[in-house]
Structure 1
Amino acid sequence: MQTVIVIGVMSFESSRALAAGLLLAVPFALSACGSGDKPAATSTAVQAGDCPTTPVDVVVSVDQWGMIVSSLAGACANVTTVLSGSSVDPHDFEPAPSDAAAFEGAQLVVLNGGHYDEWAAKLAESTAPDAAVVDALSLLGGDHEGHDHEGHEGHDHEGEGGVNPHAWYSPIAVTDVADAVTAKLTELAPAAGDYFGARHTEFTEGLAPYRDLIAEIKAGAAGKSYAATESLFDDMAGALGLVNRTPQGYQVAASNESDPSPADLDAFLRLLSDRGVDVLIYNTQTEGSVPEQLRAAAEAAGVPVVDVTETPAPGAESFEAWQVDQLTALAEALGVR
């Protein structure tokens, strides 16, 4: 039996509270959503069959990857996900001693990498120095092939080395992480090698609707354009062959969690009112007057708006179900379906 433990769920307001307060006085404030106190740890048992050996102790920084790791590990791992929930902002998370304790005895640590969950990398290094580590951004290696940033020369995503930190939106990274996690689990528990291989096959086959939708959109909408309220979907958009026409100044400001200049906001609003893009990608986990203005402008101009989330949508049964729902909405908005 697999045990998935949620060590902590905290508000996006964790370390942005001061900044958010200051931004209330600014007309074009961008602020992350989420509220409430950090709840007590919870445990959810997942039926996954018998394991032929002692389960591996695994710690995952965020549930974007935790959902994948849990699917791959099944009954042969005790998977602890430190941050789980749609109101969590890993960028600014400040771990408590109980979060550090979650890493004690870990045999495998799975990270997103870069500055996205740097706190987890530090905890792993100090608390579980002998643990094997799978780092999604390191595996991806900055390979974002196929993404056309039209007019975005010199564009710098937030993240280490200018790399977009939202690696789970890269189909390449999803495959690479799944392969690497299965390989590490097999190294740590050789007697469960066949078990892990079967779980990997099952996970890969389960991704078929996800891959089919990506291929369908790429075949039917490649070259169409989009703008986005945040950069989190950019790697997926690149895989789909979409052209990014988000005004550069706006996207740099959003990536740096700062306000766009009035000129950058005006450029974005004019882009939408002129129907200069085929779709607006809208992060529903971002609140504030700026994204609301952009959404209103898109709707007024008849530009389809596709909602996406940074963390798994509430109620999503799996990573692939979460992604398929969003891709289906995008396909419909682009007229592919």
Structure 2
Amino acid sequence: METIIITDVIVSIPSTRLFAAVAVAVVLPLATACSGGGGEKSGATTSAIGADAPACPAQPVKVTVSVDQWGQIAAQLGGQCATVTTVLANSSVDPHDYEPSPADAAEFTGAQLVVLNGDHYDEWAAKLAATSAPAAPVITAAALSAPPVDGAAPNPHVWYSPTTIDALADAVTKELSTLAPGAGDYFAERRAAFTSSMQPYTTLIADIRKAASAKTYAATEPVFDLMAQALGLTDKTPTGYQTASANESDPAPADLSAFRELLADKGVDVLIFNTQTEGSVPDDIRAAAEKAGVPVVNVTETVAPGAVSFEAWQVDQLTALAKALGVNT
């Protein structure tokens, strides 16, 4: 992240989405590397997560997943009965704006099952699946999510919704069992193992909700909002800033001022900060929180570099949040 000197004057400069130029760690080295739009690498991987699972009693199912948030989960559920390829497993690339290459299209060719995020997050992948794997069933995480409340706009970051994770795990297990009926019991065991591996995550959510459901937060981006809702936290981010952030546009000076005043008055218990975004605006907000003594909790949109699994990534963030809110875990 570039270093920007923050002064008392807020300059309206467009925030630039920065996805750390480090490929997400997997158990084995990258199997393939595909060219992304604008010369960037998509970092497609054939995951070895779940490779320590029992041997498969049937022919493994070929699964293609758009982004790594779901790729790691699919690999755990499939074990050795699924070959899971994640097309966009490079945290330096923004899935919203990604321009796929012919090599990316090839990742979908022959896929027996496709897993997407949906909700305009990875439309490029939906198009590739429709042309390169037209016969494959498609599981879309956003379609399994609860609809927004009070007419709010859909939030595409549905991997931060605990209920959506459960629903997707069930859907993937069901489709895998249909595609490889001889491994039905195997997939049921993998689903149970996934539930067990997620227990620290589930326990942390319950503990935070019980102890901190009356707490408040503000966020530099809506990435974490679905999890915050699951925890019972109240969002105090200024409405104008929220709208601008959701639209990836500049907030008005008055909205920035309102955000700074909120933090200066300690009007929230914690600031949620997306570390994969850079620019004068989020940096200024963070500086205001630190100056006021409001705890800052870092989150990421994609699986954090170095995280050994989806649940490890989530547990690290929830643990930091619990500490910031004064919740004993």
TM-score by length of 2: 0.87
| Matched residue, 2:112 | 107
| Per-residue CA distance 1:47-77 (angstroms, 9 max, x = gap) | 4331111110100000000010000001011
| Matched residue, 2:35 | none
Letter in 2 for 1:244: D
Change (3 A) 1:82 1:143: same
- The offset of 1:43, in angstroms, is 5.1
- The offset of 1:42, in angstroms, is 5.5
| Matched residue, 1:50 | 55
| Matched residue, 1:306 | 297
**Higher mean Cα deviation, 85-94 or 256-265?**
85-94
Counterpart check, 1:92 vs 2:83: no
Given that 1:72 and 1:182 are in contact with CA atoms closer than 8 Å, whether structure 2 keeps it comes out as yes
| Per-residue CA distance 1:215-243 (angstroms, 9 max, x = gap) | 00000000210000000100000000000
Counterpart check, 1:68 vs 2:73: yes
Given that 2:216 and 2:268 are in contact with CA atoms closer than 8 Å, whether structure 1 keeps it comes out as yes
Count of aligned residue pairs for this structure pair: 298
Letter in 1 for 2:198: L
Q: Distance between the aligned counterparts of 1:226 and 1:165, measured in 2? A: 20
- The offset of 1:103, in angstroms, is 0.7
Aligned sequence identity (%): 62
| Matched residue, 2:145 | 140
Letter in 2 for 1:133: V
TM-score by length of 1: 0.85
Given that 2:43 and 2:89 are in contact with CA atoms closer than 8 Å, whether structure 1 keeps it comes out as no
Give the one of 22, 25, 38 matched to 2:41. 38
Q: Distance between the aligned counterparts of 1:112 and 1:66, measured in 2? A: 10
Q: How does 1:1-337 map to 2 (within 5 A)?
A: 27-34=12-19, 37-38=40-41, 45=48, 46-142=51-147, 156=152, 162-337=153-328
Q: Report the 3-state secondary structure (helix = DSSP H, G, I; strand = E; otherwise coil) of the residue aligned with 1:241.
A: coil
What is the RMSD computed on CA atoms of the aligned residues?
1.6
Letter in 2 for 1:177: L
Letter in 2 for 1:296: A
Q: Distance between the aligned counterparts of 1:100 and 1:39, measured in 2? A: 12
Q: What stretches of structure 2 of length at least 5 have no aligned partner? A: 1-10, 22-39
Given that 2:109 and 2:132 are in contact with CA atoms closer than 8 Å, whether structure 1 keeps it comes out as yes
Letter in 2 for 1:32: R
